[in-house]
Structure 1
Amino acid sequence: MSFHNLFTSILERTNFTHEAAFVGKIYMYSKLTLFCAGLNFFRVNSYGIQIVFFFVYINLQIAFAFFVASFFSSVKIATVIGYIYVFGSGLLGAFLFRFFIEDINFPRGWILVMEIVPGFSLYRGLYELGQYAFSGNAMGATGMTWENLKDPINGMRDILIVMTVEWALMLVLAFYLDQVSSIGGSVGNPLLFFRCLQKKHAPPLQSSFVQQNHKVAVDMEKEDVAQERQVVEQLLMDSNANQAIICDNLRKVYPGKDGNPDKLAVRGLSLALPKGQCFGMLGPNGAGKTSFISMMVGLTKPTSGTAYAHGMDIRMDMDNIYTNMGVCPQHDLLWETLTGKEHLFFYARLKNLKGAALVKAVNDSLKSVNLFHGGVGDKQVGKYSGGMKRRLSVAISLIGDPKVVYMDEPSTGLDPASRNNLWNIVKEAKRNRAIVLTTHSMEEAEVLCDRLGIFVDGEFQCLGNPKELKARYGGAYIFTVTTSPEQEPEIEELVHRLSPRANKIYSLSGTQKFELPKQDVRIADVFHAVERAKSRLSIHAWGLVDTTLEDVFIKVAKGSPVFNDVA
């Protein structure tokens, strides 16, 4: 028995050709049509009707998906509901809707109402095609033709009209909901749609309680943070200000649940970042760095305040900002089945690269992150190591020459050689764009960043370049010495002779660490004192170092009132 005859026999046993009863069988039938020539369902009916029917339905489903997507914020929930809809509409069509169609006493108007559901429209069209295919096969006649659409018992014409009208309406509604969500509105307020047509609008009003708290916070700000706020206010009044990023009192509050208080993730952040500068955000976990970046890239809406990227408001102009923005998220967002090169082609096309410029940009990006040679770029991302995925994410963020780039801990998981290569890429990239970088590596911040901000509990504690911060908060040498435990008092006495204001910050099993104010001691005096002490004390090891950026970070973080309250 041939494969064609075997497959036809199986279909006849399931009564598929006779009743066209189940959408899943139709789908299976259509998939195997390419391999099984001569199936009546597709062969007998007019090809033109089938092409129009499937074309309209596919586009209706796309518009319907965009429309429904506006009601979901969770991908998992949307996936579950999607599967329930697909299989549920198929089962209901086979075991419920079919009986309404075949019942001549059931009102035809109600059938049209039920066919507004795209799944039922699909089932009704497949049912009609199946019936005509069966009749044509049994009586030796042709299946459904364009002339048959005039038959009163044929519902295909009504289906095509319903789906076409619904397709147009879904496109309009999907566009409307997309515009409403892009300005932070709700579906229930139709007037919010017209706000997207406005060029500018006033930021949301704050309550008197919030304004009072903001005033107190401004009064308590450090001098450099307050100065940055004044710079931002002056830039906002200057229509010719040429800044890549301006954050104006940006604030994010997550509402409390289950009786818990509201969480202030970002507390009135103000920042001005010119083109050609890399700004580093340092802070402990949970400080609000990722919340800040999420607002800047459009993932979440600010509770109050706003920010501008090359003069475009993040509340109103995100569609335009996206074309000039690159993002390297904290966690890699990659498709496991696509290759590295395919990822870059996809994102480069989104940045409107075409032809030879597209191919050159992709190859240059792969070379810059060492994913070009050895065919690595042609391998599926699912076979990449964690470091290779991280390098690909960085390449994606820089492709297409974006003017503003956000990098959230880009070097996480990289080996020293790859990390050093990444630093060279970032240093080269910041020449003609602004980069905002978050990191826990003080070495990385010192190498890459022109300016730093230490971020604790949603607000800046200090701003400045690495040298300024070390000079301001690290006006001391760190003196470490290891002796036998019983000689600790003598070492402490020695240190206090060098500097009466010396501060012991660490002591454990004979190892002590002291802060020596720079204005009290000279490096030569410390060396002479240690050499003289070696003749009477068993000094196993000692060292004198300048304050590091890590020391500054720890001191600033511990100096924050909120940090101390948590501790």
Structure 2
Amino acid sequence: MAEPSDGPASFWTQANALLPDSMAEPSDGPASFRTQANALLRKNLTFQRRNIMTNIRLVSFPVVLCLLLVLIQRLVDHELNKGDLKCGCKCINTKGDGQCKKECGIQYSTIKQAGTCAVLNPREWPPLLQIPAPQHRAVRTDFIPFNDLPNDSCRRIRSCPATILFTGSNHSLGEILVGNMVPNSFTQNYSDILGSLAQNVLGTASWPDSQNYLESAFFSDQPVYVVQRQCTGNSSFPVAIQEYSKTFQLDLSCAQGLFVWRNSSSAVNDELYKGYRTGNTERQINEIVAGYDFLNTNFNNFNVSIWYNSTNKDDARNELRSLVRVARSVNLASNAYVQFLLGPATKLLFEFIKDMPKPETEVRLDFASVLSTLFFTWVIIQLFPVVLTALVYEKQQKLRIMMKMHGLGDGPYWLISYAYFLCISSIYMLCFVIFGSVIGLNFFTLNDYSMQFVFYFIYINLQISLAFLVAAFFSSVKTATVVGYICVFGTGLLGGFLFQFFIEDASFPKGWIIIMELYPGFSLYHGLYEFAQYSLGTHGMRWIDLSDSKNGMKEVLIIMVVEWLVVLFVAYYIDQVTSSGSGKSVMFLFERFGKKHPSSSQRPSLQRQGSKVLVQMEKPDVSQEREKVKQLLLDPSTNHAIVCDNLKKVYPGRDGNPEKFAVRGLSLALPVGECFGMLGPNGAGKTSFINMMIGLTKPTTGTAYVQGLDIQTDMDGIYTSMGVCPQHDLLWETLTGREHLLFYGRLKNLKGSALIQAVEESLKSVNLFYGGVADKQAGKYSGGMKRRLSVAISLIGDPKVSLKRVSHFRKHQRPFKLTL
């Protein structure tokens, strides 16, 4: 026995000890589903404990990325809050003694600095209409051929009117109302500049900011317009506005207002839609100021719908990135209706608009949310090559077929392997979210945690299923690793520099986006993109936001759930068809539902397989063995361990070469208790014969029976009573010899004290028990020690049939006996 180690048991050791392992004696028959699952889970936990440093490096990757985002955020904040962007200050000499006092405020600030200043008493600004620039105002075109619009020649001299559409159930009433909207002349009261401006209709082509502490129309290169029915020769109106101890001189320009009637609201909507086009550098091409539908408005009822330009509003995230100048459009309609009822002397004045007071603020850019989509795509999808290489490693090293040869069924393998990778992925994602939340990234703290849990849980399940599917097409760990990490970085870069543009482009067909999201990496990118966009706001994403038509998270979740189930099914199906020793045809699912297989008690022990007998001279002992097999196949009561019936293996010819006969019609009968050795030179077919017997390859014709079970159809049942020592040592490098035998002993249905005793006896029988060798990792064994461990694995559990491929014997190897 190995010496006890110092110190308390580790987490993995304690977790392993909690797993059920009954003290009952071994039961007859193959191990149950639960026993197989228990054995594989214990082995995986031990393997995980051996690779703790790999896990630490895996978890450190998102930690490093999150810390990098925090560092970048600090650097960005430092640059943004330098003097060029902070509120302006000035040294003021208030007492005349040469000493100055530093005062800060918006009156000492540039336009860039003003946004951060404290504003205790916000300025009152005249309300403005959003009016297109002269070169974009509506004119007659091929797609808008209305004769009441001006000719496009007005654009050359910048004299095109600002067009407003209107409709309703009463044409004459509509004409009256729009006639009351715009005055015929400009009025100005120098003692009350703001009040006089409210008497007029002012407009601008500049876009408003997200706040109104400084009206962008008065601080931009765009002119401010006065909308009138007709513009006279003198169409410039100078105005002086006192603001924050400064006087702004403005020259208001006249813009003619053109009100044109349309017969229906659909006609108005169609013209508005055709007059606007995104994607060009000038944003608008044939823009309308607004549209009014007075519906059923009459003397007793005022009912109006207003179309307005909301280009500068980002509805996709429910965030108002900039204000929208719509209030003045509503006031024009209301004022016109009041004058219609009470006369032109009565006016519903809209004197000013102003923002709320605010304290001094800092310029902030959530850089982490801006970059998080790309970075976090890399963080999450890097689990894909980890799972993929683990699966391909078992395939490359033939560990999967080795476990299958010792009785591990496909059901326990899939259940435990899938659950194992799911637990690792879940722990990884949990650490990722917790760490991101602890360091205060808005991407995690603002978005609803339940939504994040659902999204990440569905995706890691899809990713694991995809890894199982892709693993079927690789046989080399190096190739799988390269392809896996190409997918990691390629997905992030293609998502950030291609797919994201398609998401943000409203004109791009949504159907194509859905098709692209069938690639799981783009589904992940789109979901993270939605989280990132909502984290730029104030409340993040909530479940209610899924009802927003511009939110793509709902479709992403649906695609991932459906794809998860489909990929998992296809992966299992391909595994059953392509895995060695499965013995299942491409149509095995239909065969299962189409007919009922008889039980082992109802099935005859042996059946003669129709095959073509070689027409050639045979040696007498060969003919005698062939006749013996024929008789045994007719006798269902035979107790022979192995019966081979004209077993053949032919490899097809390549490059014009003839077919290669590896095994040429072998007939063989081995009774129980016999030790049989097969000798022959290289190329005689020994390895091909054993590979067919253990399910690595399928016979071309003929078959063989092991304990009455056909290797063509009952390989899973054969594995429960067979011990196999392959030609090459198929071992886990990080597991000890004792752990190997404990795992395979459990697969042979050994439990409790019987398992411990069988492991110790196996280790002693191959001279691996003493000197601490049993608790040494197999990767540190010599070639001879690995070979002895493979022999011990093949004999543990007292299999009824044991097969061993021997290349050559060494003098220091202990003799052993193969029992049939």
TM-score, length basis structure 2? 0.45
Q: Deviations over 1:412-450 (max 9, x none)?
A: 5x552xx22xx2xx33x62xxx2xxxxxxxxxxxxxxxx
5 Å-filtered alignment, 1:283-298, equals 283-298=680-695
For residue 463 of structure 2, the aligned residue among 27, 36, 61 is 61
Deviates more, 1:401-410 or 1:176-185: 176-185
For residue 522 of structure 2, the aligned residue among 108, 113, 120 is 120
Q: 1:24 to 1:358 in 2, by over 3 A?
A: farther
Query: How far apart are the structure 2 equivalents of 1:352 and 1:151?
Result: 56
Q: Deviations over 1:307-341 (max 9, x none)?
A: 11222221112222222222211111222233223
Instruction: Indicate conservation of the 8 Å contact 2:608/2:633, yes or no.
Output: no
2:374 corresponds to: 21
What displacement does 1:370 show? 2.3
**Identical columns (%):** 59
Q: Which residue identity does 1:120 align to in structure 2?
A: F
What displacement does 1:221 show? 1.8
Q: Which residue identity does 1:146 align to in structure 2?
A: W
What displacement does 1:405 show? 1.7
Q: Which residue identity does 1:305 align to in structure 2?
A: G
What displacement does 1:352 show? 4.4
Alignment partner of 2:672: what SS? coil
Query: How far apart are the structure 2 equivalents of 1:114 and 1:202?
Result: 53
Q: Deviations over 1:191-216 (max 9, x none)?
A: 7777996569999976xxxx4xx432
Q: 1:303 to 1:355 in 2, by over 3 A?
A: same
2:125 corresponds to: none
5 Å-filtered alignment, 1:163-242, equals 163-181=560-578, 182-183=582-583, 185=585, 211=612, 214-217=613-616, 220-242=617-639
Q: In the alignment, is residue 257 of structure 1 matched against residue 654 of structure 2?
A: yes
Unaligned runs of 5+ in 2: 1-63, 77-366, 383-427
TM-score, length basis structure 1? 0.63
Query: How far apart are the structure 2 equivalents of 1:161 and 1:393?
Result: 48
Deviates more, 1:82-91 or 1:48-57: 82-91
Q: 1:359 to 1:259 in 2, by over 3 A?
A: same
Instruction: Indicate conservation of the 8 Å contact 1:298/1:318, yes or no.
Output: yes
Q: Deviations over 1:242-266 (max 9, x none)?
A: 2222111110011111111111000
Query: How far apart are the structure 2 equivalents of 1:111 and 1:272?
Result: 63
For residue 275 of structure 1, the aligned residue among 655, 669, 672 is 672
What displacement does 1:114 show? 1.9
Query: How far apart are the structure 2 equivalents of 1:106 and 1:202?
Result: 65
Q: In the alignment, is residue 135 of structure 1 matched against residue 536 of structure 2?
A: yes
Instruction: Indicate conservation of the 8 Å contact 1:249/1:305, yes or no.
Output: yes
What displacement does 1:115 show? 1.8
Instruction: Indicate conservation of the 8 Å contact 2:614/2:665, yes or no.
Output: no
What displacement does 1:104 show? 2.2
Deviates more, 1:61-70 or 1:10-19: 10-19
Q: Which residue identity does 1:98 align to in structure 2?
A: Q
Instruction: Indicate conservation of the 8 Å contact 1:184/1:301, yes or no.
Output: no
Q: Which residue identity does 1:38 align to in structure 2?
A: I
The structure with more radius of gyration = 2
1:144 corresponds to: 541
Query: How far apart are the structure 2 equivalents of 1:336 and 1:26?
Result: 28
Q: In the alignment, is residue 99 of structure 1 matched against residue 501 of structure 2?
A: yes
Query: How far apart are the structure 1 equivalents of 2:525 and 2:369?
Result: 14
Q: Which residue identity does 1:17 align to in structure 2?
A: S
Q: 1:375 to 1:260 in 2, by over 3 A?
A: same
Q: Deviations over 1:44-102 (max 9, x none)?
A: 43333333333332332333333344445666655554444444334333332222222
1:384 corresponds to: 781
Q: In the alignment, is residue 335 of structure 1 matched against residue 736 of structure 2?
A: no
Instruction: Indicate conservation of the 8 Å contact 1:232/1:248, yes or no.
Output: yes
Q: Deviations over 1:447-499 (max 9, x none)?
A: xxxxxxxxxxxxxxxxxxxxxxxxxxxxxxxxxxxxxxxxxxxxxxxxxxxxx
Q: Which of the two has greater helix per residue?
A: 1
What displacement does 1:157 show? 2.8
Q: 1:83 to 1:361 in 2, by over 3 A?
A: farther
1:531 corresponds to: none
Q: Which residue identity does 1:9 align to in structure 2?
A: V
2:70 corresponds to: 9
Q: RMSD of the alignment, in Å?
A: 3.6
Deviates more, 1:68-77 or 1:387-396: 68-77
For residue 793 of structure 2, the aligned residue among 387, 392, 396 is 396
Q: 1:146 to 1:365 in 2, by over 3 A?
A: farther
Alignment partner of 1:282: what SS? coil
Instruction: Indicate conservation of the 8 Å contact 2:644/2:668, yes or no.
Output: yes
Q: 1:43 to 1:75 in 2, by over 3 A?
A: same
Query: How far apart are the structure 1 equivalents of 2:620 and 2:66?
Result: 85
Instruction: Indicate conservation of the 8 Å contact 1:365/1:395, yes or no.
Output: yes
Instruction: Indicate conservation of the 8 Å contact 2:609/2:703, yes or no.
Output: no
What displacement does 1:376 show? 1.8
Query: How far apart are the structure 2 equivalents of 1:128 and 1:233?
Result: 71
Query: How far apart are the structure 2 equivalents of 1:266 and 1:372?
Result: 40
Instruction: Indicate conservation of the 8 Å contact 1:183/1:196, yes or no.
Output: no
Aligned length: 408
Q: 1:222 to 1:165 in 2, by over 3 A?
A: same
Query: How far apart are the structure 1 equivalents of 2:650 and 2:594?
Result: 23
Q: In the alignment, is residue 300 of structure 1 matched against residue 697 of structure 2?
A: yes
Q: In the alignment, is residue 311 of structure 1 matched against residue 663 of structure 2?
A: no
